[in-house]
Amino acid sequence: MLKLSIKQLLQQKQHNQDEHGKNFFGTDITLQGWVRNKRDSKAGLSFISLTDGSCLTTMQIVAKAQLPNYENILKLTKDCSISVIGTIEKSLGSNQDFEIIAKEIQIIGWVENPETYPVSPKRHTVEFLREVSHLRIRTNLLSSVMRVRNTISYAIHEYFQQNEFYWIHTPIITATDAEGAGELFQVTSLNLNDLPRDGLGKIDYKNDFFGKQTFLTVSGQLNAEAYCLAMSKVYTFGPTFRAENSNTTRHLAEFWMVEPEVAFADLNQNAKLAEELLKFIFNKVLNDNLHEIDFFVEYIDKEVRNRLTSLVANKFEVITYTEAIEQLLKPGKNFENPVYWGVDLSSEHERWICETLVGRPTVVINYPKDIKAFYMRANDDGKTVAAMDVLAPGVGEIIGGAQREERYDLLVNRMKELGVGLEALSWYLDLRKFGSVPHSGFGLGLDRLVSYITGVNNIRDIIPFPRASKSANF
C-alpha cells in the first residue's frame, strides 16, 4: 500500500490533474497522522480532519458506520493518532476537491482525559501555549511558524551556497571574553561545591577542563574572520548564547545567528549583501509558504504578505547615523530619551527611524566610534566607524555588522584605548600581520527574522523550546 504524506498527496493531485488525472481518483493509499477535528452525522458517517504536519492543509477522511470499529472512531478526539487505509475520491463537500473514503482506520494512540488535554480544539493564547511548549506544536500557529522557520533556514544556506560562500563551523566553547557582545555563560567541569583556589584565594582554572576559563560563544565572528581571510567568503550558522537578563519580546538567552564574513569587501558591499540575502529569503517564503502566509494574514497580522511583497520590490533605505540624528532632532517629536550626536540610539529612536521616517527596513551606517566595538574600521573623519545596523519595523535591530579594522596599528591602538586584552587576542591580531585585507561581515538574528516575517511578535513563540532568563523548561 502506498504511504504518502498529506503534502505528497496534494502534489500528486496537481500532477495527476495535468497529465493522467484519471489515475488519481480510485487509488488506495495509507495516511498516518493526528486527528485535528471530527464531525459526526447520524447519516451514519464521520468526517475526520487529519493532519500529519507535512503542510497546513488537513485531509478529510470519511469514516462510514460500516467500519468494524466505528464505535471507537466516534470516540476520537483532537490529537488521537490514527493510521488510515482508504480510497481517494472526489469530495461531495465544497471545502476540498477530494477526500479519503476509509476502508480501515487503525487507532494508534488515544488522548487521555480530553477535558484537560491542554491543546483542545479551540483558540488558545500564545501565553498559555508557551506553558506547554512540548504540545503547542500541535496547533496551526506553531506548526506554520516552524515550517516557515525551516524555509528561512534552508534559504539562508541556499543563498550562500549559490554565491560561493563556505559554511564553517565555529566553536561553541570559547576562551575569548573580549568581544563586547554581551554577558557570557561560563563553561566549567569544576565541582562548584569544592572550587580549587590559588594562593590569593581566586579560583584556579588551571584545573578546569580546558586549563583556563571558558564560555559559551556569543558570536562566531572573530573565528569567521580568520577563515574569510583565506577562503574569501564564509558564513557561520548556529546557536549563540548571551547571559543577559533581558526581559523583552525580542531577546533569548540561546538564539540562532547567521554571520557571513567577506574578504575584499567594504561597508557598501556588506550592506548590499545583507539586502540581497534578506530579499532572497523573503522571496523563498512567499513562494514556498503560501498557505502559512494566508494563515498569518488571517490570524496574526493582515500585513504579512503585503510587507514581504513590498520588501522584495523596493530598495532598502540607507542613511548615515549623522543623517538619522538630524532627522530625530527636527522639531515636533517627543522622545523620552535625549537625542544628540554621539548618543547610542534607543529603541524608540530606532523604531521612529524605520517605522515612521522610512516605513520599511532601514540600513543605518557610520556610527560614532565610541558606541561601537573595537574591531570596527575607523572612518577617515576620525569620529565614526564603518558599522551598520539593519532596523526592521516591529522587531528593531535585525542585523548588526561592520567593515572590520584590517590595519594592524589602528586596531592595536583601538584595543588599548578600550582596554581590550591584546594577549588573548594575539591570534586575531596575527590576521592583520599576514596578508591582511579589507573585509566585512554581519550578524543576522534568525529568530528576529522569523518573528518579522511571520508577524508573530514574541520571539519565544517562533523557536521550539525558548531559553530565556529564568526560563529553561522542556
Sites for RNA among residues 303-342 (CB under 7 A):
337
Q: Exposed, middle or buried, 94 (CB in 10 Å: 0-12/13-18/19+)?
A: exposed
- Binding-site member from 49, 151, 366, 454 for RNA (CB under 7 A): 49
Q: CA dist 261 to 169, 206, 264, 266, Å?
A: 13, 34, 10, 11
Compute the least distance from the CB of residue 219 to RNA, in Å: 7
By beta-carbon proximity to RNA, the closer residue of 138 and 448 is 448
Count of CB atoms situated within 10 Å of the CB of 153: 17
Window contacting RNA (CB under 7 A); options: 1-9, 25-33, 124-132, 192-200 = 124-132
Q: Applying CB under 7 A, does 246 fall inside the site for RNA?
A: yes
Strand ordering across the sheet containing 173-174: 173-174, 214-216, 186-187
Compute the least distance from the CB of residue 75 to RNA, in Å: 6
Compute the least distance from the CB of residue 434 to RNA, in Å: 26
Q: Applying CB under 7 A, does 73 fall inside the site for RNA?
A: no
Give me the residue label for grid cell 488558545.
124
3-class secondary structure, 37: strand
Q: Applying CB under 7 A, does 47 fall inside the site for RNA?
A: yes
Give me the residue label for grid cell 548615515.
320
- For the segment 171-190, give every residue that binds RNA (CB under 7 A): 180-182
Q: What are phi and psi of 107, to 5 degrees?
A: -90, 115
Compute the least distance from the CB of residue 254 to RNA, in Å: 8
Q: Applying CB under 7 A, does 127 fall inside the site for RNA?
A: yes
- For the segment 136-165, give every residue that binds RNA (CB under 7 A): none
Q: Give the residue among 46, 33, 133, 135 at the shortest CA–CA distance from 80.
A: 33
Window contacting RNA (CB under 7 A); options: 197-205, 272-280, 344-352, 430-438 = 344-352
Give strand ranges (E) for 264-383: 317-320, 362-368
Which stretches within 337-445 are classed as H helix?
347-351, 408-418, 426-430
| Sign of torsion over alpha carbons 460, 462, 465, 466 | negative
- For the segment 201-230, give every residue that binds RNA (CB under 7 A): 219
Compute the least distance from the CB of residue 288 to RNA, in Å: 23
Q: Applying CB under 7 A, does 40 fall inside the site for RNA?
A: yes
Q: Applying CB under 7 A, does 75 fall inside the site for RNA?
A: yes
Compute the least distance from the CB of residue 201 to RNA, in Å: 25
Window contacting RNA (CB under 7 A); options: 112-120, 229-237, 276-284, 286-294 = 112-120
Give the chain's radius of gyration (CA, Å). 27
Count each helix (H run) and each strand (E run) in the chain, helices first. 13, 17
Window contacting RNA (CB under 7 A); options: 3-11, 86-94, 161-169, 317-325 = 86-94
Here's the x/- map for RNA, 53-72, by CB under 7 A: it reads as -------x-x----------
Q: What are phi and psi of 367, to 5 degrees?
A: -85, 160
Q: Applying CB under 7 A, does 399 fall inside the site for RNA?
A: yes
Q: How far is the C-alpha of 98 from the C-alpha of 249, rounded, in Å?
A: 42
- For the segment 274-303, give every residue that binds RNA (CB under 7 A): none
For 109, which DSSP code?
A: E
Compute the least distance from the CB of residue 189 to RNA, in Å: 26
Grid cell in block for residue 406: 584590517
Size, binding site for RNA by CB under 7 A: 76
Count of CB atoms situated within 10 Å of the CB of 363: 24
Here's the x/- map for RNA, 373-392, by CB under 7 A: it reads as ----------------x---
Compute the least distance from the CB of residue 447 to RNA, in Å: 5
- Binding-site member from 6, 156, 228, 257 for RNA (CB under 7 A): 257
Q: CA dist 283 to 305, 339, 355, Å?
A: 11, 37, 22
Q: Applying CB under 7 A, does 94 fall inside the site for RNA?
A: yes
By beta-carbon proximity to RNA, the closer residue of 47 and 408 is 47
By beta-carbon proximity to RNA, the closer residue of 8 and 57 is 57
- Binding-site member from 249, 269, 320, 413 for RNA (CB under 7 A): 249
For 163, which DSSP code?
A: T
Q: How far is the C-alpha of 441 from the C-alpha of 235, rounded, in Å?
A: 9
Q: Give the residue among 192, 13, 33, 167 at the shortest CA–CA distance from 91.
A: 13
- Binding-site member from 33, 393, 443, 455 for RNA (CB under 7 A): 443
